[in-house]
Structure 1
Amino acid sequence: MFYILYNRFIKPNLKGNDGKIIQNNGYLLIDTTHTIISKATNLTLTTVGIGFILLIIVLVLAIKIKILLFLLPISFYLIGQLFLLSNHVKTTKKQQIWFNPQNSAVFIEQIDAENINFNLLNDVRRVREVKSVQNTRGLFFGYYELILSHDTIQIPYLVAENPQNKLFLETLHANFKIAVESKLFPII
């Protein structure tokens, strides 16, 4: 299991953007770094490991002490963090967001859909922030959802955690009243 996770999350990102600001014709790449994904993967694997250990302890001890069965949902929640990480990393990898700070133009290249081009200040109708109910071991999952007239864009916190994307997020927070919603599993 760890081999599959390593090959899926860590190994492909070794060539990723790590600390370099990538520009193309005035557009800044709004992306995450290998360090952020690696840190999130390590924290999630630790959480999932704790969930599996708790599950085994509950199953073994629940034979004698039935009250321990209340820990079963907690262990499933901790194990579910792996699926949440997979969802957010997949969303991060399947889109590249380019932002032009001069005119607030945004261009999104998507692997499995058509590319999207819009102006952040004029075309966005509203912004939602969907975040996890709790911070698990220093890892906080969530995403921003930009609602356009013709489409919806999700930007995971994995992208938002990159300090190089500060200008994009400041523009977002300065120009929109962001509605915050909490979910147990903020799946994109």
Structure 2
Amino acid sequence: MGRVTATQITPAAGPALPPAAGGQPLIVGLDLSLTSTGIAGHGWTDHLRTKTRGDARLDYLLTGIATFIRAADLVVMEGPSYGHAALAGHEDLAGLRVLVRRYCWRHQIPYAVIPPSSLKMYATGRGNATKGEVRSAVADRYGIHTEGAARYDEADAYVAMAAGMDWAGHQLAAVPERNAKALAGCAWPEAVAA
């Protein structure tokens, strides 16, 4: 599959991702975390968990994430939560985001960033929804039931992916207009797969 440059397609151009073999582009959602990263694609969720620290942890997470995104047409990751009170690991989490962005850039994979409040708004219609409300919205709207310790991380990743599918013109399920307004608050790529 060929790639295009930023001067060829812009977000204002509307849906730009071509359908992949299954009729839809491969869009992967990520909820990046140092201890439990949620990952999702159309119809599935997964996660990476680790208790390692430092550079070994970043290497483990990036290597695992790369196995999910290496063939993606678009990666949509949840952005940072600047209001989050716990700053432990802040530098490493910011580093993980940069490593994932750098991986995407090196491999010419377009990526988008969805702020936490926009992710919650897209899922529930409220930018301050709880993790449980987001998880319930994913189950109700898409029929995806996330379970276990990473259930909230996987649900957030699924919403990121679903927002990306909507932006690309492949909406997975009807979303109220109020929810869809959240797409305007995201940083969408200027270059996408051809």
| TM-score, normalised relative to structure 2 | 0.23
> Between Structure 1 and Structure 2, whose CA radius of gyration is higher?
1
Task: Give the number of the structure whose residues are more often strand, by fraction.
Answer: 1
